[in-house]
Structure 1
Amino acid sequence: MVARAAKTQRRTRIQEEKEEKILEAALGVFSAYGFRGSTIDQIAEAAGMSKPNLLYYFRTKEAIHRTLLDRMLFTWLEPLRAFDADGDPEAEIRSYIRRKLEMSRDFPRESRLFANEILQGAPHIEDELKGPLRELVDEKARIIRGWAEAGKIAACDPHHLIFSIWSTTQHYADFDVQVRAVLGADAGKERFEQAAHYLEGLFLRGLRAAAKDT
């Protein structure tokens, strides 16, 4: 789904800037209130635009929301796409954990946008979850299973390993308020490095130790 203004023959720099302004405002609104709790009026106000002007660029709230979800899914899955079958398993898993944590640090609103969509039953992206996302996860699960069969890591359920990495890393975006409340005001950005160090140990020590016993 593309912006309405993008369907014109030639998009101007001003049009592109307006679209980005709307999407930036909508990201804040949707991540705070969810799709159902958000309105075009809220987004227009956050963007500093009139409602008719906003609707010139995006015809509906659904169009804005879907554009944001499509962008988010592409960016969010990039670390998983980079998972390399020919790489060292430990290095690949460590890199994946760190890149996911970096995304939680740098794109917390996008993570909450996705979480809100999932909590509502994924009405706008169910096809993507059952299609391209599932195919990508299955592909990477085969890589992990191959490492286990070669004795490079412990035998494990690769899908649940991926789910576990998702849940532990995205916690630092979706529950950041809770994390900061528990760690205290001095936690700062180092909480992500501390999390990376802990999660690397959590996943890699188990996979490494168990592999030696196989």
Structure 2
Amino acid sequence: MPDGTGKARTRIQRRNRDLILEAALDVFSTHGFRGATLDQIASAAGLSKPNLLYYFASKEAIHADLMSGLLDTWLDPLREMDADGEPIAEILAYVDRKLEMSRLYPRESRLFANEILQGAPRMLDNLQGELKHLVDDKVRVLLRWMDAGQIAKLDPHHLIFSVWALTQHYADFDVQIRAILDDADPFDAAPNFVETLFRKLLRPDS
């Protein structure tokens, strides 16, 4: 993969970039963009600050790199909803994929949430562009399923919002959930509960 000069990166350069991005994910997801510093990221990566600046010109550049990859990953579960599939099965599969993302990628979820809570100053264009276009496309699919009587008639936008809210809660409020559950793993029971909830909601005769 080329670097900013068009030259292929060496193995060490790729490793150091990966170290920086992994450390930045920890720092940004814990402290938010404003609270994070280059010194914190360099320390977490085990690199000097000048060495870090060799790979990324600024904190903004690191954050932009992370957010670019994150948004694409975040959209994949919704992209996979098949307009030609069985409606309830497709929606429940989407719910399951989102819940699994919260289990596997809690730091990424908190990074995304932090950006949104700050007004999305670094990714508003992406939200109003790529994300909105994808949601609009899936809303048309949901409306078609509703008109055909295959799922209950609901507000399609708020149906998608409810999937986001319920599944991402398990990542963004992990500490609160585990405190209430005496540190039991919430993902032991969450999949069955969430599927049951949405299955009942989506039933055409509900």
TM-score where L is the length of structure 1: 0.93
Residue 163 of structure 1: aligned partner: 161
Residue 23 of structure 1: aligned partner: 21
Q: Give me the whole-angstrom Cα distance separating, in 2, the residues matched to 1:25 and 1:182.
A: 29
Q: Give me the whole-angstrom Cα distance separating, in 1, the residues matched to 2:100 and 2:18.
A: 23
Residue 194 of structure 2: aligned partner: 199
Distance 1:193 1:89, change over 3 A: farther
Give the letter for the 2:30 counterpart.
Answer: A
How far apart are residue 207 of structure 1 and its match?
1.7
Q: Give me the whole-angstrom Cα distance separating, in 2, the residues matched to 1:124 and 1:36.
A: 12
Give the letter for the 1:212 counterpart.
Answer: D
Residue 151 of structure 2: aligned partner: 153
Alignment of 1:1-214 (within 5 A): 5-185=3-183, 187-188=184-185, 191-208=186-203, 211-212=204-205
Cα displacement string for residues 23-74 of structure 1 (whole angstroms, at most 9, x for unaligned residues):
0000000000000000101100111111110000000100000111111111
How far apart are residue 192 of structure 1 and its match?
1.6
Q: Give me the whole-angstrom Cα distance separating, in 2, the residues matched to 1:126 and 1:107.
A: 22
Instruction: In structure 2, list runs of 5 or more residues that go unmatched.
Output: none
Give the letter for the 1:87 counterpart.
Answer: G
Give the letter for the 1:199 counterpart.
Answer: V
Give the letter for the 2:143 counterpart.
Answer: R
Aligned-residue identity in percent: 60
Query: Cα RMSD over matched residues?
Result: 1.4
Instruction: In structure 1, list runs of 5 or more residues that go unmatched.
Output: none
Which secondary structure does the structure 2 equivalent of 1:7 belong to?
coil
Q: Give me the whole-angstrom Cα distance separating, in 1, the residues matched to 2:82 and 2:5.
A: 37
Aligned length: 206
Q: Give me the whole-angstrom Cα distance separating, in 1, the residues matched to 2:91 and 2:201.
A: 12
Q: Give me the whole-angstrom Cα distance separating, in 2, the residues matched to 1:6 and 1:38.
A: 24
